[in-house]
Amino acid sequence: MTTATAPTAAPLTAIDRCDRCGAQAYLRVQLKSGGELLFCAHHAREHSEKLREIAEHVHDETGKLGDTHATPADDA
């Protein structure tokens, strides 16, 4: 008997943490074998080759991490 589940469509939040280091997760990987893993952007990049081999579905929100450099405050 095989049971299939639909990939989780819920957006990742600050509560979702990387399974590797505990940082905020931006990638949810549904595994072919069942279950899921959460990764921060750093560990998602580090393990991307292996994840492609074992992933059934990937929910990627790393696009939320834009270039957000702070600009100095105007002292005038």
pLDDT digits (tens, 9 = 90+) for 18-41: 999 999 999 999 999 999 999 999
Q: How far apart are CA 41 and CA 39, in angstroms?
A: 6
Classify residue 36 as exposed, middle or buried by CB count within 10 Å of its CB (0-12, 13-18, 19+): middle
Tokens of 46: 């580090």
Across all residues in the chain, what is the average pLDDT?
A: 85
In the DSSP assignment, the letter for residue 73 is: P
Q: How far apart are CA 72 and CA 75, in angstroms?
A: 9
What's the pLDDT score for residue 66? 84
Are 24 and 14 in contact by the 8 Å Cβ rule? The answer is yes
